[in-house]
């Protein structure tokens, strides 16, 4: 996207200005979105994003600048301004002299789409969404169905003063079906949204008929649901998006962004027991076609599979370059950013609880009164206190070991380290699901996952 | 090409293709200075912008945008927008007739202080926080500013632009003392750098966080609830979804069909005022060029009006209220500016739970069903006094029921900045469900 000479010149100038490390990130990103409501196309949009972010590290101090004027003049001026911001203009660091000899690496296409963005006409997309909508209308009470399709094709270049030159391409597709059911009790919603690092073959992997029906059925379940009970009780959490609880309760606490500043309740705990022994927690950026996968991270490092917790013992944090500098730990290919407008920070990729060996049915046995949180919404955490929450999208009462009536509007709250020590059993049915995670370096695609599992007690926020 | 030239290029191209079109460009300059352990740890500087079109072809609307301003990229934008339009169902879309709107400067000298002063402000927030022995860690303090230039034009005669901006001080701190640590944020925003006070931002953060130390679990039950202004402002952000005529037309608002009806307690008056002098989200005109004016949404509990853009207004047979919202990347929507709950006679704290902060709003509040169940932090009140801090609890209810159960409204307005500006005084709600131990 930019010439090697220009990239080399920008990075060399930064080094001459005293930066220990300079990194240029360039992206060109085509996006398409389509939103339909009740059989009609409401919004169809396309976009081209194009810009660069330049990061200079002086020890652990960071100067970051971004622009979408990528002319040689603009980029060189920007570099000068950044050097001046550190008050180091005119300083010459001998290491910065001479040209850079880039070692070029290109993506192998491990997550390449079968159906690229340009293939299939717009009608094809529209028909798949109509199919999903028809399937979502499972009952006359389904008054509205919204379907949305997002297609991303992002080309990335990362070049560094250490001579790294990495090109990656990330194609991601997601569609979301939201059904709105209306009855005497008011309006309730159900939604399902599969997404992968694939092209339009997503519709084959997750047939619109199936996805639509699930959304419709969830809305109907919530329509006949009573308000959730309130209080502390045992909870069985469903698989797939259920994993969002550990994304909040555990994942964010293991990012060096918080850990390096001692702003996480799990800092300085490597090698210690931090969870119940039945918990093994893995963050894997290499999962083929995972929603959060990429061959390289946004700092140009190859992604990897990082075992964070093994049988309850903390094995690793998620480490970006800045975090590595601050902590002395090895980078784990976890430096991610939403786009060129953000400097990278340590972030999750595809994070899941490994399967255990308790049969799913056994999890419910012996629960006198509790909650089955079958499907989850999003959540939030404060790493410094570990306090987290997440919303439940579909839930049922467990009474005397049996799954009984549906309830709505439950929220689970707790403190991360406390909740993970209360995981009593983990089933074997691991599934993953896509989500968007918002944090310091923006909103990113991540996968969460887990098998069904039992937490012996947790606060359930409801109304009854 | 600069944005004016790119806008002219696109409008000319639209005319040549025989299309109605509206072009919106924004150019943003940003700076962020973060302090850590007495030094400036992260400095960010940026210029960024993009241009987006809305075209109407035979009554069908399509959108496209680009951040690359080459003729090739702009040609691609027109072609994509055209094809996107053909995909649309229906045929009643239009670009509203517009007029010359002029150039406006809402920012003035607001951000004109020297870089050194801004750096000192970021460092001062951190230094003040670290002076308190209970502060265990300060993960981040920062000064941020953003200056935005908006340019609008259409083939139907709209033409104008404005400049706006905001300066922000923020801090995050972890406090320890007695039981478990507590972490909080504080964000103060203003049009004027000189109106910000680092000491105040820091001390408020400490005070708001320190009172939550030594928290106990809350016993599950129904309590009278008092929402501090910033906590209620967050809820108002979720409630604002119900006021959008776009959501009403799409069958997503519980307030559909209720204009003229009593939808809230008689103590509730909610106004959106894009003309508020010094308002963080003030604007001279909306994203379609409709001039701004204040809008009373709920008056003494009666629903007076929804917020409209030209499209929703035509469908509902009213006039646009000037609430069209669109970024260059986005599609036409409805958006509020400075939305606030008007102050009332005052609140007297008696028995119940004082909610100081809520978490999980994006997931725990469903504006379509109106149900919410949110993680809360707060204080237990007994006999008009703070008895103890409470933690690990949730507050739950329904947004409409909540509006109807408001039993007192405080007399002092505070603002929270979340993209839109949200203002609220203290609010007392007769009864809400709380879950804890």
Report the relative pairing of strands A21-37 and A142-160 from DSSP bridges.
antiparallel
**A261, two tokens:** 């500043």
The C-alpha atoms of residue A23 and residue B119 are separated, in whole angstroms, by 24
B350 CA to chain A: closest CA distance, Å?
Answer: 23
Instruction: Give every residue of chain A whose pLDDT is below 50, as ranges.
Output: 89-90, 96, 98
pLDDT at A88: 59
pLDDT at B350: 96
Looking at this predicted complex, what is its ipTM? Answer: 0.90
pLDDT at A463: 78
Query: B262 — contact with chain A (CB < 8 Å)?
Result: no
Q: Would you say A70 and A49 are in contact if contact means Cβ atoms under 8 Å apart?
A: no
pLDDT at A116: 86
Instruction: Please provide the DSSP assignment of A362-424 as one string.
Output: HHHTT-SEEEEEEEEEEEEEETTTTEEEEEEEEEEEEETTEEEEEEE--EEEEEHHHHHHTEE
Residue B421 pairs in a beta bridge with B338, B417
The C-alpha atoms of residue B63 and residue B79 are separated, in whole angstroms, by 10
Residues 221-250 of B with CB under 8 A from A: 250
B189 CA to chain A: closest CA distance, Å?
Answer: 19
pTM above 0.90, yes or no: yes
Report the relative pairing of strands A186-192 and A226-227 from DSSP bridges.
unpaired
pLDDT at A87: 67
**B415, two tokens:** 């603002």
pLDDT at B281: 95
The C-alpha atoms of residue A217 and residue A188 are separated, in whole angstroms, by 11
Q: Which of A2, A37, A48, A386 to mutate: most B Cβ within 10 Å?
A: A48
Partner residue opposite B183 with nearest CB, options A48, A228, A384 = A384
- Count CA within 13 A, CB hemisphere, residue B404: 10
pLDDT digits (tens, 9 = 90+) for B8-61: 999 999 999 999 999 999 999 999 999 999 999 999 999 999 999 999 999 999
Estimate to the nearest angstrom the gap between the alpha carbon of A25 and the chain centroid. 20
A78 CA to chain B: closest CA distance, Å?
Answer: 9
Query: B317 — contact with chain A (CB < 8 Å)?
Result: no
Q: Would you say A174 and A200 are in contact if contact means Cβ atoms under 8 Å apart?
A: no
Note whether A46 contacts B81, CB cutoff 8 Å.
yes
Residue B158 CB contacts under 8 Å (≥ 6 apart), including other chains: B22, B96, B98, B99, B101, B152, B288, B289
Instruction: Per-residue pLDDT tens, chain B, 437 aa: give them.
Output: 889 999 999 999 999 999 999 999 999 999 999 999 999 999 999 999 999 999 999 999 999 999 999 999 999 999 999 999 999 887 899 999 999 999 999 999 999 999 999 999 999 999 999 999 999 999 999 999 999 999 999 999 999 999 999 999 999 999 998 788 999 999 999 999 999 999 999 999 999 999 999 999 999 999 999 999 999 999 999 999 999 999 999 999 999 999 999 999 999 999 999 999 989 999 999 999 999 999 999 999 999 999 999 999 999 999 999 999 999 999 999 999 999 999 999 999 999 999 999 988 888 899 999 999 999 999 999 999 999 999 989 999 999 999 999 999 999 999 998 778 999 999 999 999 999 88
Q: Would you say A241 and A448 are in contact if contact means Cβ atoms under 8 Å apart?
A: yes
Closest CA to B148 of B263, B49, B245, B249: B49
- Count CA within 13 A, CB hemisphere, residue A392: 31
Q: Would you say B166 and B145 are in contact if contact means Cβ atoms under 8 Å apart?
A: yes
What residue of B is the nearest CA neighbor of A82? Answer: B45
H/E stretch holding B4 reads helix B3-17
H/E stretch holding B134 reads none
Q: Would you say B352 and B223 are in contact if contact means Cβ atoms under 8 Å apart?
A: yes
Q: Would you say A342 and A441 are in contact if contact means Cβ atoms under 8 Å apart?
A: yes
Which residues of chain B does A51 touch, with a Cβ-Cβ cutoff of 8 Å? Answer: 48, 67
- Could you tell me where the DSSP H helices lie in A186-229? 202-205, 208-223
| Contact pairs from chain A to chain B, CB under 8 Å | 255
Query: B254 — contact with chain A (CB < 8 Å)?
Result: yes
- Count CA within 13 A, CB hemisphere, residue A149: 28
pLDDT digits (tens, 9 = 90+) for B331-354: 999 999 999 999 999 999 999 999
Tell me the backbone φ, ψ of residue A301, rounded to 5 degrees: -95, 145
Q: Would you say B66 and B50 are in contact if contact means Cβ atoms under 8 Å apart?
A: yes
Partner residue opposite A65 with nearest CB, options B45, B139, B363 = B45
Query: B434 — contact with chain A (CB < 8 Å)?
Result: yes
pLDDT at A90: 47
H/E stretch holding A268 reads none
Q: Where are the beta strands (DSSP E) in B18-156?
A: 20-36, 39-57, 60-66, 100-105, 135-154
The C-alpha atoms of residue A333 and residue A349 are separated, in whole angstroms, by 10
The C-alpha atoms of residue B250 and residue B241 are separated, in whole angstroms, by 12
pLDDT at A94: 52
**B35, two tokens:** 């302090």
pLDDT at B376: 92
Partner residue opposite B392 with nearest CB, options A48, A383, A415 = A415
């Amino acid at each position: 996207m930019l010439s090697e000479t220009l990239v080399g010149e920008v990075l060399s100038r930064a080094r001459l200005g005293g930066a220990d490390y300079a990194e240029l990130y360039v992206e060109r990103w085509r996006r398409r979105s389509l939103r339909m409501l009740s059989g009609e196309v409401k919004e169809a949009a396309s976009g081209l994003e194009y810009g660069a972010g330049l990061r200079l590290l002086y020890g652990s101090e960071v100067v970051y600048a971004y622009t979408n004027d990528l002319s040689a003049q603009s980029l060189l001026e920007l570099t000068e301004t950044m050097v001046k911001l550190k008050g180091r203009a005119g300083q010459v660091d001998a290491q910065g002299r001479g040209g850079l000899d880039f070692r070029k690496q290109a993506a192998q296409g491990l997550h390449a789409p079968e159906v690229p963005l340009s293939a299939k006409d717009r009608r094809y997309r529209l028909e798949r969404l109509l199919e999903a909508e028809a399937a979502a209308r499972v009952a006359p009470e389904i008054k509205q169905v919204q379907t949305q399709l997002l297609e991303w094709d992002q080309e990335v270049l990362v070049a560094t003063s250490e001579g790294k030159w990495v090109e990656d391409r990330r194609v991601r597709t997601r569609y979301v079906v939201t059904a709105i059911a209306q009855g005497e009790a008011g309006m309730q919603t159900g939604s399902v949204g599969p997404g992968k690092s694939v092209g339009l073959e997503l519709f084959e992997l997750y047939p619109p008929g199936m996805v639509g029906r699930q959304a419709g059925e969830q809305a109907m379940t919530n329509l006949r649901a009573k308000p959730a009970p309130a209080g502390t009780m045992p909870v069985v959490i469903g698989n797939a998006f259920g994993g969002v609880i550990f994304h909040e309760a555990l994942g964010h606490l293991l990012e060096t962004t918080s850990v390096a500043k001692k702003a996480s309740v799990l800092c300085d705990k490597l090698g210690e027991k931090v969870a119940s022994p039945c918990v093994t927690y893995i963050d894997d950026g290499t999962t083929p076609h995972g929603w959060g996968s990429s061959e390289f991270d946004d700092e140009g490092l190859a992604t990897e599979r990082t075992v964070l917790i093994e049988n309850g013992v903390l094995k690793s944090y998620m480490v970006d370059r800045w975090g590595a500098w601050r902590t002395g730990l090895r980078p784990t290919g976890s430096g991610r950013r939403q786009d060129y407008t953000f400097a990278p920070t340590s972030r999750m990729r595809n994070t899941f609880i490994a399967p255990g060996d308790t049969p799913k049915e056994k999890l419910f046995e012996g629960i006198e009164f509790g909650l089955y949180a079958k499907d989850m919404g999003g959540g939030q955490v404060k790493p410094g206190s570990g306090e987290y929450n997440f919303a439940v999208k579909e839930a049922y009462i467990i009474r005397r070991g049996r799954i009984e009536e549906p309830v709505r509007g439950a929220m689970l709250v707790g403190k991360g380290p406390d909740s993970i020590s209360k995981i009593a059993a983990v089933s074997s049915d691991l599934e993953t699901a896509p989500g968007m995670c918002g944090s310091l370096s923006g909103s990113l695609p991540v996968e969460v996952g887990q098998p069904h599992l039992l937490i012996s007690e947790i606060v359930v926020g409801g109304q009854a | 090409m600069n944005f004016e030239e790119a806008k002219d290029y696109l409008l000319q191209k639209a005319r040549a293709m025989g299309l109605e079109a509206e072009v919106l460009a924004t150019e943003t300059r940003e700076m962020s200075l973060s302090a850590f352990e007495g030094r400036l740890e992260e400095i960010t500087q940026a210029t960024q912008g993009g241009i987006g079109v809305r075209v109407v072809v035979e009554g069908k609307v399509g959108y496209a945008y680009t951040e690359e301003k080459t003729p090739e990229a702009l040609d691609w934008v027109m072609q994509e927008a055209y094809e996107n339009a053909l995909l649309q169902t229906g045929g009643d879309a239009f670009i509203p007739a517009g007029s010359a709107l002029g150039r406006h400067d809402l920012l003035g000298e607001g951000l004109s202080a020297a870089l050194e002063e801004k750096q000192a402000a970021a460092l001062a927030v951190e230094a003040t926080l670290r002076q308190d022995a209970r502060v265990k860690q300060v993960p981040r303090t920062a000064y941020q500013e953003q200056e935005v230039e908006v340019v609008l034009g259409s083939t139907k005669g709209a033409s104008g632009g404005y400049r706006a901006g905001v300066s922000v001080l923020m801090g995050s701190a972890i406090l320890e003392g007695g039981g478990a640590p507590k972490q909080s944020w504080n964000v103060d925003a203003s049009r004027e750098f000189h109106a910000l006070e680092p000491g105040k931002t820091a001390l408020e953060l400490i005070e708001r966080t320190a009172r939550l130390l030594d928290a106990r679990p809350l016993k599950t039950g129904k309590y009278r609830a008092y929402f501090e202004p910033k906590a209620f402002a967050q809820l108002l952000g979720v409630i604002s979804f119900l006021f959008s005529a776009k959501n009403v037309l799409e069958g997503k608002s519980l307030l559909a069909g209720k204009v003229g009806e009593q939808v809230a307690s008689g103590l509730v008056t909610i106004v959106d005022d894009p003309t508020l002098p010094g308002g963080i989200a003030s604007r001279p005109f909306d994203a379609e060029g409709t001039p701004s004016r204040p809008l009373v949404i709920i008056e003494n509990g009666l629903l007076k009006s929804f917020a409209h853009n030209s499209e929703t207004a035509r469908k509902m047979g009213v006039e646009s209220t000037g609430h069209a919202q669109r970024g260059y990347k986005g599609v036409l929507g409805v958006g509020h500016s400075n939305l606030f709950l008007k102050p009332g006679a005052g609140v007297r704290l008696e028995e119940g739970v004082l909610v100081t902060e809520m978490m999980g709003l994006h997931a725990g509040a469903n504006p379509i069903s109106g149900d919410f169940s949110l993680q809360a932090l707060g204080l237990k009140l007994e006999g008009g006094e703070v008895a103890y801090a409470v933690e690990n609890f949730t507050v739950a209810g329904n947004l409409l029921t909540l509006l109807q159960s408001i039993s007192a409204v405080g007399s002092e307005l505070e603002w929270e900045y979340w993209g839109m500006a949200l203002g609220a005084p203290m609010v007392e709600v007769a009864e809400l469900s709380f879950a804890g131990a």
